[in-house]
Chain A
Amino acid sequence: MSRARADEEEYWHSSKFRAFTFDDEDDELSQLKESKRAVNSLRDIVDDDDDDDLERVSWSGEPVGSISWSIKETASSSASSLEGRDSSLQKGSSSYAAFPKQVSSYSLSSLFKGRNKLPSFQSLSEALSDTGVKNYAPELRRPKADYKDYSSDWSPKDTVRRMQRGKVCSLERFRSLQDKLVLLDEAVAGHDGNVITAVLIFLKRTLRREILFRELEVRQVALCHLIHFLKETGEQKLLLDLLRLCFFSLSLQLSQYREHLNIQDVEKRREFLKGCIGLPFSAEDTSHIQDHYTLLERQIIIEANDRHLESAGQSEIFRKYPRKASILNMPLVTTLFYSCFYHYTEAEGTFSSPTNLKKTFKIPDKQYVLTALAARAKLRAWDDVDALFTTKNWLGYTKKKAPIGFHRVVEILQRNNAPVQVLQEYVRLVEDVETRLNLATKYKCHDVVIETYRDLKDRIQLTAYKCKVERGSAEEEKINSILNNMVRNTY
């Protein structure tokens, strides 16, 4: 009490909390900052004691007493946490008191099934207040049908319905193929996967495989359930047999292909992929899977070779830049990057040469240039970068060309910390004047900025740019001389 009073006193007399002044500008960010400042300064006023009306929340944000919170709490049996726990548990139960235990005596299932036996209920609230129902509930849960003699013959329909309600039924009575199929069709019509699968397990056990497969071919939904079941239970052999027999659906072929992911050993994986190539995929999927196989085959060769090179310690590139991970199972573009990094100069005949990869996998120019550029820039091999964009025409003139646009080239070089001299060479090649100016200004390629303004005959901008370059530098001189020239020319 006394503490509270002291706080209050301080609160009333202090004048550090003053009203805010809000600018009228509607800038979102400044508004946010404003409100942030406002609430932060208020924090000091109000944070002292916990508000009883608020739900208690531990730091992780779980309300104290919530289930995930309690799992952590009860799982730790250390005595040190006992004290805190007890108090908060009490807290939890006191908040629970708002919902007396007897409020509802209704279970979902009793509501669902027992209505006709309790015709006196007019409204839900009345029903909820009547605790007497509780006693009926267990009985009401059982529909009349349940009391029937267990040995009596249920129709396929009844059987499925019972199974849907979670009752255990013997399916052995369905002996003829005809009966079994009616049962399966009933189950499928009920849309309950649980029951469909149960019937399938029964059929799988009691039918010859060929017959089962034949019937499933015309029952797609059931077929999918069986495939799913076999996948989950890991019955690979039966699954593959089934897939082989039902090559009418492409996705099923793919699910065989999918199996390769479960094979850890690369050699075995490669063999498996090889086996997949023969499967009747769609034309384009076949080519992707063929590529996948070829790529893995390559990677195995490259990996063996490079591991040897690296451990021998003879190759400079591997000494200087040790490999971080194996290249096995990496995507194609990553493999290309790898080969541009370690095997750039190799002749086209070797498996690891970038040009060979490009040809084998028909990698588009754009993709190739991007990857090679990134790899060579990372090695700071600026000559290679230069060669990448140089083309010679038949007269022997050289010309710079980039399939990806020089602004992208600049970005990639910049990301690899290329020096300004290199950078500005490519900034200069950006065709769009505005983009060129932006990039040049951003990366401080002064020469390019100055030349561009000169070509634009923009005195004002050029003069303004003077303050961006160092005093007494060559760039400043250049600007001055251009400005003087311009003056002379205009007269």
Chain B
Amino acid sequence: MAAHLSSGRVNLTALREAGRRELREFLDKCAGSKAIVWDEYLTGPFGLIAQYSLLKEHEVEKMFTLKPGRLPQADVKNIIFFVRPKLELMDIITDNVLREDRGRSPQRDFHILFVPRRSLLCEQWLKEQGVLGSFIHREQYSLDLIPFDGDLLSMESESAFKECYLESDQTSLYHAAKGLMTLQALYGTIPQIFGKGECARHVANMMIRMKREFPGSQNSIFPVFDTLLLLDRNVDLLTPLATQLTYEGLIDEIYGIQNTYVKLPPEKFAPKKQGDGGKDLPTEPKKLQLNSAEELYAEIRDKNFNAVGSVLSKKAKIISAAFEERHHAKTVGEIKQFVSQLPHMQAARSSLANHTSIAELIKDITTSEDFFDNLTVEQEFMSGIDTDKVNNYIEDCIAQKHPLIKILRLVCLQSVCNSGLKQKVLDHYKREILQTYGYEHVLTLNNLEKAGLLKPQTSGRNNYPTIRKTLRLWMDDVNEQNPNDISYVYSGYAPLSVRLAQLLARPGWRSIEEVLKMLPGPHFEERQQLPTGLQKKRQHGENRVTLVFFLGGVTYAEIAALRFLSQMEDGGTEYVIATTKLINGTSWIKSLMEKLEPAPF
């Protein structure tokens, strides 16, 4: 079930196991039968740690989603709330507890499990409502880094970027540091730490401090990771704004991948069995899990979308050839062998069917005129064309009232590619946006400005061309089918963040000092001492393992680019990726927008 976690260079099953263990411990504390009331946001991340079966073995009999009103009837001894420490959730819990029928017998015991941390604020809140005393156990479950795949960890902390850059709230960095300490407890102390950016500096400081404060964490595990690279998202604001062009990236851009699951329009997945003609077409979206446990997906996820079609058709040929084999099987032995292969072939067939359907869905969009126009403008900006004047396409999109997020992505992209917009250009865009979408969006524009995504060019100098040339961010001769450079993931643009990782491994950051100074925040290097017995003697030809931690989010295209580097024959480095949240341009901008609807409470 979790086999895909152990497929990579670092076996992440151990991390998952540790998480499961802690969950069991908590459940056993509340003796007797239980019902869990879920903060719905948590079910996705928890699903990656444990299945219902685990809970059931520990006497969890019912599960509900958290909502105001009276709790559903359930004949259990314990009611456990699994929640994030958020005040609005505390209000719902209070409501639930107050409406509990005091007269019922036997009475039900209440408990709270805060994920990832107990919050004094929330407890204070519950106290003020007069219900704090109703809870027997109030504990925390530090779900810091959740294993998503064999080489991917995420904290799934949606608002980390916003909190760090808009609200000066660095709690998520504290959690990141804690997650890294857990990781080191399991996989050994990471001897080398590199970083770029303000937040990276904070996390490194906290790690060093935590290590000092818990001498017990000095462990005797042979280090699995050689290097940790901490990268601030605001060092590279450009990459998430561009449309990702890998297969997985496009699925995320178009449909949004949540906790490795994607929901797709059902039409293309209708069962076409014979005799099923009378059945209605399914109306619920089709939900699929996407991870490297699926052989075909592991092969195509990181390819440029233009290279996916040929792989799928090749696979189709192979599978149909395999099924043809049956005609040639003459002896009983041959037939037996064929039959034994059937299950594998079936799995491959259904996987191929799914991905062919998904590819068709995506193709419909990527071949549309608007997708092409949008991409053309993005690529012009990234290659430095006409970034200093009002863009016609953007103006047209505003006039036609295209979704605001799309407009903001483009305008921000232009701003970042020009080290800020000329005041006149910026004012023009702002005016058009406010007049067309409503003045209240001045709040969102302000947030974007504060995050550095949309700003006036202050220095009067545009640094982007220098950065682009030095880091070779734009490649004209990109090979989408058989890539030789990471720029294939955006069909020409090489993600800045990944370039930094690549250059760090070889030849080292000293070669790009000048450019590093142009990017925001300090860059630094720290070493953590290892006991002599644990120092690595590298075998000849053995790859180094680097953990790249993106503070503020990472896109699937960046992950694809790092995987590409891992697989390069003479690369010498394999990468494991960690992040506060898996993002794309849309979800990212959305997290920075002011919520304009008043809260329901």
List residues of chain A with CB under 8 Å of any chain B CB: 8, 11-12, 17, 19-20, 22, 26, 28-29, 31-32, 34-36, 38-40, 42-47, 51-55, 57, 59-63, 65-71, 74-75, 89, 92-93, 95-96, 98-99, 101, 103-109, 111-117, 119, 121-124, 128, 137, 143, 161, 163-164, 166, 168, 190-195, 197-198, 201, 220-221, 224-225, 228-229, 232-233, 250-251, 254, 257-258, 260-262, 264, 284-285, 288-289, 291-292, 295, 329-333, 361, 363, 366-367, 370, 408
**Assuming A45-B323, A143-B214, A331-B434, what are 6 further A-B pairs, CB within 8 angstroms?**
A11-B326, A12-B326, A62-B287, A112-B185, A116-B218, A221-B168
Contacts of A292 in B (CB 8 A): 439-440, 442
Given contacts A38-B316, A67-B46, A67-B52, contact A295 B439 (CB under 8 A): yes
User: What are 19 sample pairs from A and B whose C-beta atoms fall under 8 A apart?
Assistant: A28-B310, A32-B313, A36-B353, A40-B353, A67-B50, A68-B43, A89-B56, A92-B56, A103-B17, A105-B21, A109-B22, A112-B216, A143-B216, A191-B173, A193-B170, A250-B446, A251-B446, A288-B439, A292-B440
Given contacts A12-B326, A111-B18, A191-B170, contact A36 B356 (CB under 8 A): yes
Contact yes or no, B17 A128, CB < 8 A: yes
CA–CA, A289 and B440, complex, Å: 9
Stretch of B235-243, B357-365, B458-466, B566-574 at the chain-chain interface: B357-365
Name the residue on A nearest B321 (C-beta). A19
Taking the closest CB of chain B, its distance from the CB of A359, in whole angstroms, is 14
- CB-contacts of B342-376 with A (<8 A): 342-343, 345-347, 349-350, 352-353, 356-357, 359-360, 363, 367
Given contacts A35-B312, A198-B120, contact A228 B167 (CB under 8 A): yes
Contact yes or no, B221 A123, CB < 8 A: yes
Residue interface mask B533-546, A partner, CB < 8 A = 1:
00000000000000
Contacts of A99 in B (CB 8 A): 1-2, 17, 20
Taking the closest CB of chain A, its distance from the CB of B218, in whole angstroms, is 7
Name the residue on A nearest B344 (C-beta). A53
Q: Is B333 an interface residue (CB 8 A)?
A: no
Contacts of A285 in B (CB 8 A): 442, 446
Contacts of B432 in A (CB 8 A): 367
Contacts of A408 in B (CB 8 A): 396
Contacts of A71 in B (CB 8 A): 38, 43, 63-65
Pick from B119, B442, B443 the residue with the most CB of A within 10 Å: B442
Contact yes or no, B51 A67, CB < 8 A: yes
Name the residue on A nearest B19 (C-beta). A108
CA–CA, A107 and B284, complex, Å: 39
Contacts of B43 in A (CB 8 A): 67-68, 71
Pick from A43, A65, A193, A295 the residue with the most CB of B within 10 Å: A193
Q: Is B273 an interface residue (CB 8 A)?
A: yes
Taking the closest CB of chain B, its distance from the CB of A39, in whole angstroms, is 4
Q: Which of B87, B119, B124, B316 contacts A34 (CB 8 A)?
A: B316
Contact yes or no, B124 A258, CB < 8 A: no
Contact yes or no, B14 A128, CB < 8 A: yes
Q: Which of B274, B353, B396 contacts A39 (CB 8 A)?
A: B353
Contact yes or no, B288 A70, CB < 8 A: no
List residues of chain B with CB under 8 Å of any chain A CB: 1-2, 14, 17-22, 24-25, 38, 43-44, 46-47, 50-57, 61-65, 72, 85, 87, 117-121, 124-125, 140, 142, 163, 167-171, 173-174, 181-182, 185-187, 202, 206, 213-222, 261, 263, 271-274, 282, 284-289, 306, 309-310, 312-313, 315-317, 319-321, 323-324, 326, 335, 339, 342-343, 345-347, 349-350, 352-353, 356-357, 359-360, 363, 367, 395-396, 399, 401, 427, 430, 432, 434-440, 442-443, 446, 450, 594, 596, 598
Contacts of A12 in B (CB 8 A): 326, 335
CA–CA, A51 and B46, complex, Å: 26
Contacts of A329 in B (CB 8 A): 438
Q: Which of A74, A89, A367 contacts B62 (CB 8 A)?
A: A74
Taking the closest CB of chain A, its distance from the CB of B178, in whole angstroms, is 9
Given contacts A31-B312, A39-B353, A115-B216, contact A124 B347 (CB under 8 A): no
Contacts of B63 in A (CB 8 A): 67, 70-71, 74-75
Contact yes or no, A46 B120, CB < 8 A: no
Q: Which of A20, A66, A195, A295 contacts B317 (CB 8 A)?
A: A20
Contact yes or no, B185 A361, CB < 8 A: no
CA–CA, A400 and B434, complex, Å: 30
CB-based A-B contact count at 8 angstroms = 332
Contact yes or no, B442 A289, CB < 8 A: yes
Taking the closest CB of chain B, its distance from the CB of A187, in whole angstroms, is 11
CA–CA, A409 and B214, complex, Å: 71
Given contacts A116-B218, A370-B399, contact A54 B140 (CB under 8 A): no
Contacts of B596 in A (CB 8 A): 261
Taking the closest CB of chain B, its distance from the CB of A107, in whole angstroms, is 5
Contact yes or no, A111 B186, CB < 8 A: yes
Taking the closest CB of chain A, its distance from the CB of B165, in whole angstroms, is 11
Name the residue on A nearest B427 (C-beta). A284
Contacts of B85 in A (CB 8 A): 194
CA–CA, A54 and B1, complex, Å: 10
Q: Which of A20, A26, A70, A137 contacts B52 (CB 8 A)?
A: A70
CA–CA, A119 and B218, complex, Å: 11
Taking the closest CB of chain B, its distance from the CB of A423, in whole angstroms, is 19
CA–CA, A186 and B309, complex, Å: 57
Contact yes or no, A42 B323, CB < 8 A: yes
Contacts of A26 in B (CB 8 A): 310
Contact yes or no, B321 A46, CB < 8 A: no
Contact yes or no, A28 B142, CB < 8 A: no
Contact yes or no, B216 A113, CB < 8 A: yes
Given contacts A124-B14, A254-B446, A258-B594, contact A20 B316 (CB under 8 A): yes
Contact yes or no, A46 B345, CB < 8 A: yes
CA–CA, A321 and B186, complex, Å: 69
Q: Which of A42, A191, A198 contacts B206 (CB 8 A)?
A: A191
Contact yes or no, A35 B352, CB < 8 A: yes
Given contacts A32-B309, A68-B44, A106-B17, contact A116 B216 (CB under 8 A): yes
Contact yes or no, A331 B435, CB < 8 A: yes
Contact yes or no, A32 B359, CB < 8 A: yes
Pick from A17, A43, A117 the residue with the most CB of B within 10 Å: A43
Contacts of A330 in B (CB 8 A): 438
Q: Which of A32, A65, A115, A201 contacts B185 (CB 8 A)?
A: A115
Contact yes or no, A331 B174, CB < 8 A: no
Contacts of B185 in A (CB 8 A): 108, 111-112, 115
Given contacts A20-B320, A61-B261, contact A229 B121 (CB under 8 A): yes
Taking the closest CB of chain A, its distance from the CB of B174, in whole angstroms, is 5
Contact yes or no, B289 A191, CB < 8 A: no
Contacts of A95 in B (CB 8 A): 1, 51, 53
Q: Which of B140, B220, B320, B359 contacts A115 (CB 8 A)?
A: B220
Contacts of B54 in A (CB 8 A): 96
Contacts of A51 in B (CB 8 A): 343, 346-347
CA–CA, A8 and B335, complex, Å: 11
Taking the closest CB of chain B, its distance from the CB of A176, in whole angstroms, is 22
Pick from A11, A54, A192 the residue with the most CB of B within 10 Å: A192
Contacts of B450 in A (CB 8 A): 251
Contacts of B288 in A (CB 8 A): 61
Name the residue on A nearest B447 (C-beta). A251
Q: Which of A45, A112, A164 contacts B182 (CB 8 A)?
A: A112
